[in-house]
Amino acid sequence: MERAALPRRLTWQTGTVAQLVDETARTKSIVLDVPGWPGHRAGQHIDVRLTAEDGYQAQRSYSIASAPEDGHVVLTVQHLDDGEVSPYLTRELRIGDELELRGPIGGYFVWDAELGGPLLLVGGGSGIVPLRAMLRHYLAVGSAVPLRLLYAARSLRDVIYQDELIRMREDDGLDIRFTLTRRRPPGWSGYARRIDVPLLAEVAFLSDRRSLTYICGPTGFVETAAGSLVELGHDPSRIRTERFGPTGA
């Protein structure tokens, strides 16, 4: 186990919406000014609390999309049709609104430069969000450890942070690869299949390089990606996962 965060009481704070960014048709980034924000590590999350006029409250957890070096706390929220909180955050929230939050939370699914590498990031769908914080941190501190990112999305339209990721690949030379599992644009040169052992064998570092791996996505995706890497000889203790979404069970 890596170093634990220092125990600190987490109190509710108020953030103000400074900017809203449409990332895809279903996801929106919420840029927050949080006075007195204690800082966070890439990969951590926060709790958001909404309160109705009659005092009814709802809480949810969201990954932080911004790097510790960024001036704002950014959340990227996917709209869920049957959701209670995400429709409010993606459709109702306006610039200047206040949002109650507390954090940062979690200390295991985090990467900071001193953890080293090689660093393998594997994201499915909105599982890219905490990995994007890691990418931004990686660039902000000028880390030189080898890095690869594999990002699986249904189609190019579902790729969150598309422009930024392509810029990181073109301008910063990061090894960022996409796989589109349902629809591909004409002339698509990236991967075009679901994640499995052969795809990870192609993308992952060889197991003897003892890469540090972070996998985030829906349960089935994470099970497959983590299980495939173990099958390829990767040390399970070097694979950290974050899962979300329902299962059939």
Contacts to another protein by CB under 8 A: 1, 4-5, 7-10, 14, 47, 49-53, 55-61, 84, 88, 92-94, 97-100, 105-109, 219, 223, 226-227, 229-230, 236-237, 239-247, 249
Beta bridge mates, 86: none
Q: How far is the CB of 218 from another protein (least distance, A)?
A: 9
The residue among 24 and 224 lying less far from another protein, judged by its C-beta, is 224
Contact 118, 144 (CB under 8 A): no
Which residue is listed with tokens 């052969």? 198
Q: How far is the CB of 125 from another protein (least distance, A)?
A: 15
Rg (CA), the chain: 18
The residue among 77 and 168 lying less far from another protein, judged by its C-beta, is 77
The residue among 9 and 144 lying less far from another protein, judged by its C-beta, is 9
Q: How far is the CB of 240 from another protein (least distance, A)?
A: 6
The residue among 169 and 243 lying less far from another protein, judged by its C-beta, is 243
Q: How far is the CB of 18 from another protein (least distance, A)?
A: 16
Q: Alpha helices of 149-189 — where are they, by DSSP H?
A: 162-170
Cα-based distances in Å from 50 to 4, 99, 105, 232? 29, 7, 18, 44
Q: How far apart are CA 108 and CA 3, in angstroms?
A: 9
How many other β-carbons are positioned within 10 Å of the β-carbon of residue 3?
9
Q: How far is the CB of 52 from another protein (least distance, A)?
A: 5
The residue among 18 and 140 lying less far from another protein, judged by its C-beta, is 18
Q: How far apart are CA 161 and CA 176, in angstroms?
A: 12
Q: How far is the CB of 212 from another protein (least distance, A)?
A: 12
The residue among 24 and 241 lying less far from another protein, judged by its C-beta, is 241
How many other β-carbons are positioned within 10 Å of the β-carbon of residue 21?
13
Report the DSSP pairing between strands 147-153 and 119-124. Answer: parallel
The residue among 84 and 202 lying less far from another protein, judged by its C-beta, is 84
Q: How far apart are CA 44 and CA 134, in angstroms?
A: 10
Cα-based distances in Å from 230 to 97, 110, 191, 194, 198? 45, 20, 22, 18, 13
Structure tokens at 184: 């591909």
Q: How far is the CB of 171 from another protein (least distance, A)?
A: 33
